[in-house]
Amino acid sequence: MKCTTRKIGGRDIRIWSGGTGAPLLYLHGFEQHPGDAPFLQKLGESFDVYAPEHPGYGHSNGLDTIRDLLDLTLHLRRVVEQWGRGPVHVVGHSLGGMFAAELAVIAPHLVRKLVLVNAYGMWRDDAPAPDPFVLQPDALAAAKWHDAANASREPSAFDAATDGTAQVFRAVNLAAATKFLWPIPDRGLSRRAGYIQAPTMVLHGESDELVPASYSRALADAIPGAEFAGLAGAGHLPMVEAEGGFLAMLRKFLA
């Protein structure tokens, strides 16, 4: 993957890109961009991958110009339009799944097929999900991973030579995430999901306790014609813990 910084709507946005095939926009999760991750490299064998870092994360700026989820969604619309590839497949993970669903609502002409991976955006008063911002590291790892030992394998855009300390990098990213996830991740997606027209797969790592399976099933139920697919042996990051199964599911659905 090639890393570049591009001016989009007055914001400096860092983007990883590469590969050949149909255009695919990848939107990362709430903690960090995965950088030049192995699963993105392998997606590049089948797709032309475009993976922007969200405003306010890492070296992407402009979060101060984004007041709410609508502003962020319009930013993503501009990302796709400026890319110039026409309609694209969109894969959104975690917080990026919320963003991807909203993009499919507001710009259906730009989304060919939609994959939502352990996506935030729903809420159930009868089964409240944990607040990831208050969990202690051990508790977060237990909730996030099928096997907490896999935490050391999590890919990251963090570069100690340019980003300072990992603690500061993480704090900046989480501060950006709170704008959309805190105190709860309900920003009305359940009311709008019925407008999604793109063929959609809601993919869920079955061991995830940050976004429980009931939330992903509710999201799939809210999107017309969406299919739900569970992936065993994986938690909140199935692209890491079950990379082979994850990639096979994506390629089959997007074919």
DSSP 54-110: PTTSTT---GGG--SHHHHHHHHHHHHHHHT-SSEEEEEETHHHHHHHHHHHH-GGG
pLDDT of residue 145: 98
Reduce the DSSP state of residue 135 to 3 states and report it. Answer: coil
User: How far is residue 200's CA from residue 216's CA, in Å, rounded to a whole number?
Assistant: 12
Q: List, in sequence order, every residue forming a beta bridge with 205; answer none if it has no partner.
A: 231
Q: How far is C-alpha 49 from the chain's CA centre?
A: 14
Which residue segments constitute the domains of the chain, with CATH numbers given?
A: 2-254 (3.40.50.1820)
What is the residue-wise DSSP string for 48-62? Answer: EEEEEPPTTSTT---
Q: How far is C-alpha 242 from the chain's CA centre?
A: 17
Mean pLDDT, consecutive 10-residue segments, the chain of 255 residues?
97 98 98 98 98 97 98 98 98 98 98 98 97 96 97 95 92 97 97 98 98 98 98 98 98 97
What is the residue-wise DSSP string for 194-254? Answer: GG--S-EEEEEETT-SSS-HHHHHHHHHHSTT-EEEEETT--S-HHHHTHHHHHHHHHHHH
Cβ contact 158:169 at 8 Å: yes
User: How far is residue 217's CA from residue 160's CA, in Å, rounded to a whole number?
Assistant: 39
User: How far is residue 4's CA from residue 6's CA, in Å, rounded to a whole number?
Assistant: 6
Q: Are strands 47-52 and 111-117 parallel, antiparallel or unpaired?
A: unpaired
User: How far is residue 189's CA from residue 99's CA, in Å, rounded to a whole number?
Assistant: 10
pLDDT of residue 122: 98
pLDDT of residue 25: 99
pLDDT of residue 252: 98
Query: Could you tell me the two tokens for 218?
Result: 């509710």
Which residue, among 106, 65, 105, 82, has the nearest Cα to 25 in the 3D structure? 82
Reduce the DSSP state of residue 6 to 3 states and report it. Answer: strand
pLDDT of residue 28: 98
Q: Are strands 88-93 and 47-52 parallel, antiparallel or unpaired?
A: unpaired
pLDDT of residue 24: 98
